[in-house]
Amino acid sequence: MPATRCFVIGNPIRHSRSPVIHGHWLAEHGIDGSYERIQVAPEHVPAFLDRLRAGEFAGGNVTVPNKEVVMPLLDSVSDTARRIGAVNTLWVADGRLHGDNTDAYGFLAHLDASAPGWDGRVRSALVLGAGGAAKAVAHGLAARGLERIVIVNRGPERAIELAAAVGPAAEARPLAEAAALVGESGLIVNTTSLGMRGQPPLELDLAALVPGRIVYDIVYVPLETQLLAQARALGGVPVDGLGMLLHQAVPGFARWFGVRPAVTPALRALLEADLPRS
Ligand code: ATR
């Protein structure tokens, strides 16, 4: 039997860390397969999907800027991906192309692992940002039945639109109110690129943070952002973004290679060693 080939397509693609994750799992399980970075510009996505449909690959991941581009070209799109408005995982079954979005799963799985039982304690979450990542986070939180999901964003229209899409638990508030909302939030999530290496800092004063509350930053370069350092100093529970990246890869690997892989300390250490030092 020929080796099972999988891919991640995006443009640019050289920075994707997904091959490190899937390569580790392939070796761990002794699977004869591959996972390749392939640069595909949006205009070449249809031709690439023809290769997928023709059987050259079992499936793969889709990253920026193709996550929305692929959607109308697929035979089926999961409800989750439709809600989030983006697909990050593709697979072929019976000659049909399927798409799902595993970002909400990855976000929640890492939260479950880092703060077990959190959803029994947290009633209200504060979500910073209203972009693609925020959609996955907010829909994921709604799926867990949170009573209140407050979304703040620099551009207020995007926050209003996302809150409306998420449903009655969600509401949009002005960004200027973020610090005042900290005290009443059991979970605070940064979904913006602020605080990432090379980006402006995220200026959120967590002074009102109640000890024991969770602060989750989906940024993972650096691993400990200023937001997480602040949370730690105030007795909060910091959750970093690397685990979300690792967990979102699990469902794809399970589909393509037929084995459900684990997010282990060894895998995490491998990725940490691969991250820029500063
Ligand atoms: P992603 O798909 O990674 O979430 P995105 O859709 O571009 O990326 O969203 C980026 C998020 O970071 C948005 O919430 C964006 O705010 P706007 O919707 O107002 O653009 C936020 N963001 C990026 N740079 C920002 C900055 N300098 N100040 C405040 N928010 C910023």
Sequence-distant (6+) residues with CB within 8 A of 131 are: 158, 191, 192
CA nearest ligand 1 atom 28, residue: 154
* Structure tokens given for 231: 């949370």
Query: Which numbered atom of ligand 1 lies nearest the CA of 175?
Result: 29
Q: Is the peptide bond before 265 cis (omega within 30 degrees of 0)?
A: no
In angstroms, what is the span from residue 130 Cα to ligand 1's centroid? 7
Query: Which numbered atom of ligand 1 lies nearest the CA of 200?
Result: 27
Query: Which numbered atom of ligand 1 lies nearest the CA of 132?
Result: 2
Sequence-distant (6+) residues with CB within 8 A of 231 are: 188, 206, 209, 215, 237, 238
Cross-strand bridge partners of residue 132: none
Residue 184 pLDDT: 97
Would you say the CB of residue 212 lies under 6 angstroms from ligand 1?
Answer: no
Residue 94 pLDDT: 86
* Structure tokens given for 128: 């910073």
The percentage of the chain sitting over the pLDDT mark of 70, rounded to a whole number, equals 99
Would you say the CB of residue 174 lies under 6 angstroms from ligand 1?
Answer: no
Query: What is the Cα–Cα distance from 99 to 97, expressed in whole angstroms?
Result: 7
Is residue 136 scored above 80 in pLDDT?
yes
Please give the average per-residue pLDDT across 148-158, as a whole number: 98
Would you say the CB of residue 192 lies under 6 angstroms from ligand 1?
Answer: yes
Please give the average per-residue pLDDT across 157-186, as a whole number: 98
Would you say the CB of residue 243 lies under 6 angstroms from ligand 1?
Answer: no
Would you say the CB of residue 132 lies under 6 angstroms from ligand 1?
Answer: yes
Query: What is the Cα–Cα distance from 77 to 94, expressed in whole angstroms?
Result: 15
The pLDDT tens digits of the residues spanning 53-108 come to 999 999 999 999 999 999 999 999 999 999 999 999 999 998 899 999 999 999 99
Name the residues annotated as catalytic: 67
Residue 274 pLDDT: 85
CA nearest ligand 1 atom 26, residue: 194
Q: Is residue 221 packed enough to be buried (19+ CB in 10 Å), middle (13-18) or exposed (0-12)?
A: middle
Please give the average per-residue pLDDT across 157-164, as a whole number: 98
Would you say the CB of residue 133 lies under 6 angstroms from ligand 1?
Answer: yes
Please, how many CA atoms are within 13 Å of residue 112, restricted to the half-sphere of its CB? Answer: 11
Residue 277 pLDDT: 62
Residue 3 pLDDT: 85
pTM of the model: 0.96
Query: What is the Cα–Cα distance from 65 to 68, expressed in whole angstroms?
Result: 7
Residue 35's SS3 state is strand
CA nearest ligand 1 atom 21, residue: 192
